[in-house]
Amino acid sequence: MKMWDENRIDSYRHQGLRKALIQGLRDKGINDERVLDALMAVPRHYFFDPEFDDIAYEDRAFPISANQTISQPYTVAFQTSLLNVKPGDRVLEIGTGSGYQSAVLLEMGAYVITIERQHELFLELNRFPYIAKIPKSRLKRFFGDGFIGSHSFAPFDKIIITCGAPIVPPKLIEQLKTGGVIVIPLAEDEHHKMLRLTKNEDGSYETETFSNFSFVPMLPGTQTL
């Protein structure tokens, strides 16, 4: 179990490490200022056990509970840039994990509906002050299967999948507004190629693909210990 410390602080040292991380992301080609501002605003170390404070500001993925990972900052920045989040957008996230990606979307002014299939991870976030303080009107969290999405909260302006999917789940395309965007890593050999799908008025869609990433797999159903 994680030992969340209610008194965690965002020190000048943390902020300095975060600034250096953001500069590193710029050097790697991330240039969406709104995304970079959001990553600067969210203390990533709050999503780690205290002993991993410094690692939180390295540009890499890191293990969390239930054999899952918190995505690499570059990946979060890349996916969020593709999503082109506007304040007021209703965004569905598949794969809540640590809650970090949700926090970045919230920071950009989105209303976030997020689904996690691992019960352990779903419960753990209840003990996490950063996420716990967010008003329920801005963030809805569900334990469930992302292949099914959330019929009751559809339609969505944007959908982001943060696990490597075998296909674009048809239900998620149905739950997307016309003109809406899905950003999804699709499994291909050892890697995942990033796909951006934009839905047309007649229900068809355009796709663009981007370079290789690596994700934990999107699995069907739910898992309870």
Binding interface with ligand SAH (CB under 6 A): 68-71, 94-95, 97-98, 100-101, 115-118, 121, 145-147, 162-163, 216, 218-219
> What is the token pair recorded at 79?
């996916």
* Smallest distance from ligand SAH to CB 16, Å: 23
* Smallest distance from ligand SAH to CB 179, Å: 24
* Smallest distance from ligand SAH to CB 161, Å: 8
Q: Would you say the C-alpha torsion 109, 111, 115, 120 has a positive or negative sign?
A: positive
* Smallest distance from ligand SAH to CB 96, Å: 6
Which residue(s) pair with 161 in the sheet?
Answer: 94
Q: Name residues whose C-beta falls within 8 Å of residue 114's C-beta, 6 or more positions apart in sequence.
A: 92, 93, 94, 95, 96, 99, 102, 139, 140, 141, 142
Max distance between CA atoms of the chain, in angstroms, equals 51
Which residue number, 126 or 178, has a Cβ lying nearer to ligand SAH?
A: 126
Which residue number, 76 or 202, has a Cβ lying nearer to ligand SAH?
A: 76
**Distance separating alpha carbons of residues 52 and 56, to the nearest angstrom:** 6
Which residue number, 71 or 175, has a Cβ lying nearer to ligand SAH?
A: 71
Of the candidates 71, 98, 102, 150, the residue annotated as catalytic is 71
Which residue number, 17 or 125, has a Cβ lying nearer to ligand SAH?
A: 125
Residue 71 appears among annotated catalytic residues: yes
- What φ, ψ does residue 55 adopt, rounded to 5°? -60, -30
> What is the token pair recorded at 169?
């789940």
Catalytic annotation, residues: 71
